[in-house]
């Protein structure tokens, strides 16, 4: 069955793939890596303008490595989950120091970079270098869950069984495997979506185990919903927004004005300091980190 999935999904991708800047040859491995950091839990339309500005300012890892980490946080803007900016800066420093400024081609060397986990290492190796690795993001996991396993949604967290199945599904040919990784991800993003799936537009609808079973509803643990309003994440975002706009240290009193509830505000600020996103200075001043 696996081989019957590859050809139609890749053919669909050839016809329908979005023209995204990190898919163009000129993006290079660094452009692919930057996109993978930015796209984690963030939609493409929000990433595009920040990505373009980032690559315009820091076209190579060494360009970013020269900057203070706080500049990466500033340039991250409102993408959310700003620790990703610090991790990307740390990876750029390591690439510059260990690999002469070139994103390594070896999967194990990618995995050894700070801030890079199994998914990102596999994605960069596959999308930048055309290697054969299972690339398991939420979209791919959903396509596999439905088409092969016959369930509506994958587990909340990636399981060993999913990884094993993804490896079994990989085409043997490296180039085809890399194409399959990108194609199955795009299929999940555009057609086999979490809600209102477009089975009428799906190239493998006739083989999909979930559809053929009558689309049974999800029977596993409740799926995690994302909330934002009123959370510590929202408060952290408001505090960081003030610090990103300021080019001199910001007094505590200015930060106190961004959120009405003092306990939650203090907890959010302490968390930002603990995560290395904010640097406290004597006299009750705060700034983005310099080193």
Question: Longest C-alpha distance within the chain, in Å?
Answer: 67
> Which token pair is 262?
């003092």
Q: Which of 26, 36, 52, 71 is catalytic?
A: 36
- Cα four-point dihedral sign 218, 220, 221, 224: negative
Distances in Å between the alpha carbon of 6 and those of 12, 154, 172, 194, 268?
A: 10, 20, 11, 21, 46
Cα 57 to its chain centre, rounded Å, is: 20
Q: Is 261 a catalytic residue?
A: no
Place of tokens 């302490």: 270
3-state SS assignment for residue 171: coil
d(CA 99, CA 122): 18
Phi, psi of 25 (to 5 degrees): -55, -35
d(CA 188, CA 202): 10
Contact call for residues 289 and 68 (beta carbons, < 8 A): yes
Contact call for residues 21 and 27 (beta carbons, < 8 A): yes
Please count the CA atoms within 13 angstroms of the CA of 169 that sit on its side-chain side.
27
> Which token pair is 165?
């199945």
Q: Which residues are catalytic?
A: 36
């Amino acid at each position: 069955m696996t081989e019957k999935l590859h050809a139609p999904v890749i053919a669909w991708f050839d016809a329908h793939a979005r023209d995204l800047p990190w898919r163009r040859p000129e993006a290079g491995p660094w452009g692919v890596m930057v996109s993978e950091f930015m796209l984690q839990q963030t939609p493409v339309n929000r990433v595009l303008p920040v990505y373009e500005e980032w690559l315009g300012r820091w076209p190579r890892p060494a360009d970013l490595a020269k900057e203070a980490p706080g500049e990466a946080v500033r340039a991250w803007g409102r993408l959310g989950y700003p620790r990703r900016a610090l991790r990307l800066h740390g990876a750029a420093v390591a690439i510059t120091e260990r690999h002469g400024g070139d994103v390594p081609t070896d999967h194990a060397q990618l995995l050894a970079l700070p801030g890079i986990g199994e998914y990102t290492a596999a994605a960069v190796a596959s999308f930048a270098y055309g290697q054969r690795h299972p690339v398991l993001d939420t979209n791919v996991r959903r396509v596999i869950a439905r088409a092969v396993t016959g369930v509506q949604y994958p587990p909340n967290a990636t399981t060993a069984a999913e990884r094993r199945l993804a490896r079994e599904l990989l085409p043997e040919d490296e180039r085809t495997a890399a194409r399959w990784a990108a194609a199955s991800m795009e299929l999940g993003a555009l057609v086999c979506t979490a809600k209102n799936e477009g089975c009428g537009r799906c190239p493998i609808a006739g083989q999909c185990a979930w559809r053929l079973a009558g689309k049974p509803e999800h029977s596993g643990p409740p799926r995690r919903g994302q909330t934002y309003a009123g959370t510590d994440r929202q408060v952290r975002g408001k505090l960081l927004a003030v610090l990103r706009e300021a080019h001199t240290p910001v007094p505590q009193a200015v930060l106190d004005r961004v959120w009405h509830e003092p306990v939650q505000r203090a907890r959010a600020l302490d968390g930002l300091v603990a995560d290395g996103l904010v640097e406290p200075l004597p006299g009750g001043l705060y700034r983005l980190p310099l080193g």
